[in-house]
Amino acid sequence: MAEEKTTVEATETATAQVKEATQAQQDPKEFLENFDWDKYEEGIERVDDSKLKEFENLVEENFVDTADEEVVEGTVVHMTDREAIIDINAKSEGVISLNEFRYNPNLKVGDKVEVLIDIREDKTGQLVLSHRKARTIKAWDRVNNAHDKEEIVQGYVKCRTKGGMIVDVFGIEAFLPGSQIDVKPIRDYDQYVGKTMEFKVVKINHEFKNVVVSHKALIEADIEEQKKEIIGQLEKGQVLEGVVKNITSYGVFIDLGGVDGLIHITDLSWSRINHPNEVVELDQKLNVVILDFDDNKSRIQLGLKQLEKHPWDALGDEIKVGDKVKGKVVVIADYGAFIEVADGVEGLIHVSEMSWSTHLRSAQDFVNVGDEVEAVVLTLDREERKMSLGIKQLTPDPWTDITSKYPVGSKHKGIVRNFTNFGVFVELEEGIDGLIYISDLSWTKKIKHPSEFVAVGDTLEVEVLELDVEGRKLSLGHKQTTANPWDKYSEDFGEGTVHTASIAEVVDKGATINFNEDIVGFVPSRHMEKEDGKKLVKGETAEFKIIEFNKDFKRVVASHTAIFREQEEKNVKAAKGRTSTSDEAAPTLGDANAQLQALKDKMEAAAKKK
C-alpha cells in the first residue's frame, strides 16, 4: 500500500509539473528532455534551487570537512565515568576514553580540546577521534617552537627511569637527566614524581623522536644573577647563611645562594675531628664567616669555628703547672700523644714523659686513641696556647732508691729490650735500664754482634758492675754471673801440657784445633811439621804441646813439632852421656855396632829431609 501511495503521489506531482509548464507556455518537448525521471521514480518532491543553495551554504559554514588524519578542535558536550563525547560540528559526534585525558583531571563539559580524526565513519557509522594522537602531533610543533625560541614549558613528572625521570611535555615523553633536575645533588628522586614543573627544552633528536629537558638550566639562570650580586658584596669577616651542599673527608662545601665556599676540616671545630660529618650534615643551614678568597672570588674559604670563642680564652685560671688533669687521647704520633683536657684545649704527652725508662718506645705502647688518662701539667703557655703533660710523674722515680735496690755486685734478672753493635740494653724494671758491653756477655765465646748471643725479649741474669746515680747509668755484666772457666783451663792447658786433638781448619799461617767447646788453639805452620818431614792436614789427629797460654786474651798456641823434637833432644843428651862413659871404659864390639846404627839412622833422616 505504501508503494502504491508513493507512485500516486509521484504521478500527481508530475501531472502538476506538466500543468505548470503548459500554463507557462513551455514547450512540452523541452520539458520532457529536462525532466528528472530519477526523482520521479524515487517519488522525491522537487526542492527549489534557492533552497538547495541556502542548504549548501549552511553546511559549509557549520560542518567541518572530516578528512582522515586531520587535527581539529572539538567541544566536550557530555561526559560519562569512562568516556567524553566530543562535538566537532561533523555529521556525528565522537567518543574518546577518559584515559587520554589523565594529564587533565579537571576536564569538564564545554572545554575545548584538540582531536585527530582517525576514521570518518567506522563500520557502525561512528566518527572515530583521538585526543592523544592530536596532542602528539601538535606537541612536536610546540616542542620545536619552544626549543627554537628557548621558551619555558610546563611538564608533568610521570616516573623514574635509569639515570633520570620521564616527563610529559605536551603529551610527549621527554627525558630529564638526574644531573639536570637541580644544581645540587639529588638523593631522593621519588620526591619529584607526580609534580608539575617548569622546564627548558635543551635537545631534540628528530631521527629517534627524543626530547631532553632541563630544570637545572632555569635555576642556573637565576643563580647566575644571584651569584654576581653576592660576589660583588663579599668581604673578609662577613657572616653569611649557607646550606651544606657536599661533605668530603677534607672539608664541607657550602652553598651561599649560587656561590660555593669551602670550610676546611680544621676550620669546622676547635676540637679535633676525624670527619666533617661529626659536625655537620647534608642540607643543614648554618652561619659561616668568610676567611679569604682569591682575586676573582671563585674560591672562597669559609670558617665555622671562628664564630665561637677560642677554648683557650675560656680556660680558667684554676689550671696551673703541677696540677693533675684528666683528658681523652685524640691523636697519637710516634713522638707522643695529644690529650684533650677541655673542648678544644689539648696538651702533648711526649713519649719520654710516659715512662721513667730511658729506652724510648712508641706512644702506642702506652695509650690508645679514645683512652681516658690522667696526667700532670708540666708546662703551660696561654699566649702560645701550648701545654705539655706527663704520665710518669704520677709514679715515684725508680732512681730515687737505686743504690739500695741495685748495689754494685748484686745479681738480678732482666729483659733484653734492645741491642747495638757494642752491647745489649737490659730492663731490670720499668724505668731502670742497664747496658751490658759485648765483652761482658761470655767468658769464652768471641762475639762479633750481640744478636749472635741473645734476642730481644730474652731474659738474662746480670750482675751490677757500675752505678752512676747522677748520670742515671747502670753498667751490667752477664758473664760475671758464672765462674770464669779460664781459671781452671789455665791449669789444665798450661804451657808444656800435651793434648790429643784434630786439625779443624787450615789457614794461611797455620791451623786451628778444638780442644773443647771453649778453647780453640792455634798451630803455626812451622809447628805443623811431623817427624817424617810432612805437615799435618785437616782432620788429622795428633798430639800437641801447649807452647803459649794467655787467660786474659784467651790465646792458646800449640805445637806438634815440639813433641818429637823434644824426644830428639832427649836422645842427643843420652848419647852424650854414653860418650862420656866410654872414655872411662874400653869400647866393645856391641858399642861400635850401636854407634854405627845411630849414625846410619841420622844419615837416612837427613836424606829424607832433603
User: pLDDT of 341-391, one tens digit each?
Assistant: 888 888 999 988 888 776 667 888 888 888 899 999 999 888 888 899 999
> Do the Cβ atoms of 426 and 415 come closer than 8 Å?
yes
449 and 389 inside one domain: no
286 and 317 inside one domain: no
Percent of the chain's residues with pLDDT above 70:
79
> Do the Cβ atoms of 327 and 375 come closer than 8 Å?
yes
Residue 36: inside a domain, yes or no?
no
pLDDT on residue 8: 43
Confidence of residue 36 (pLDDT cuts 50, 70, 90): low
**Residue 597 carries which side chain, given as an amino acid letter?**
Q
Residue 269: inside a domain, yes or no?
yes
116 and 185 inside one domain: no
Closest CA to 389 of 430, 343, 341, 432: 341
Structurally, how many domains does the chain consist of? 6
Cβ neighbours for 168, distance < 8 A, ≥ 6 positions apart: 103, 155, 156, 158, 174
Residue 21, pLDDT above cutoff 80: no
Domain that holds residue 519: 486-568
CA distance between the termini of the chain:
177
- C-alpha pair distances (Å), 570 with each of 147, 564, 577: 131, 10, 11
332 and 388 inside one domain: yes
505 and 562 inside one domain: yes
Question: What counts of helices (H) and strands (E) characterise the chain?
Answer: 10, 30
Q: In sequence order, what DSSP letters do the residues of 452-509 get, joined into one string?
A: GT--TT-EEEEEEEEEETTTTEEEEESGGGS--HHHHHHHHT-TT-EEEEEEEEEETT
Give the containing element (helix H, strand E) for 243.
strand 239-247
Q: What's the CATH code of the domain at 110?
A: 2.40.50.140
Q: What mean pLDDT is predicted for residues 318-328?
A: 86
Q: What mean pLDDT is predicted for residues 496-502?
A: 87
* Mean pLDDT computed over every residue of the chain: 79
**pLDDT, tens digit (0-9, with 9 covering 90-100), for 110-148:** 988 888 887 777 677 677 888 888 877 777 888 888 888
Percent of the chain's residues with pLDDT above 90:
9
Residue 560: inside a domain, yes or no?
yes
389 and 443 inside one domain: no
What are the strands, taking DSSP E only, across 310-429? 324-333, 336-342, 345-350, 372-381, 386-390, 411-419, 423-429
Distance, in Å, from the CA atom of 423 to the CA atom of 473, rounded to the nearest integer, reads 14
Strands 473-477 and 432-437 turn out to be parallel
pLDDT on residue 139: 78
Look up the pTM and report it: 0.41
Residue 602: inside a domain, yes or no?
no
457 and 517 inside one domain: no
What are the strands, taking DSSP E only, across 64-222? 70-79, 83-87, 94-97, 112-119, 127-130, 152-161, 164-169, 172-177, 196-205, 210-214
Which of 349, 364, 394 is the last residue before a domain boundary? 394
Which of 281, 303, 325 is the last residue before a domain boundary? 303
Residue 531: inside a domain, yes or no?
yes
**Residue 438 carries which side chain, given as an amino acid letter?**
I
Residue 1: inside a domain, yes or no?
no
Cβ neighbours for 238, distance < 8 A, ≥ 6 positions apart: 289, 290
Q: In sequence order, what DSSP letters do the residues of 149-178 get, joined into one string?
A: HT-EEEEEEEEEETTEEEEEETTEEEEEEG
pLDDT on residue 264: 93
297 and 317 inside one domain: no
Residue 16: inside a domain, yes or no?
no
Which of 190, 220, 250 is the last residue before a domain boundary? 220
Residue 472: inside a domain, yes or no?
yes
Q: What is the 3-state secondary structure (H, E, C) of 341-364?
A: EECCEEEEEEHHHCCCCCCCCCHH
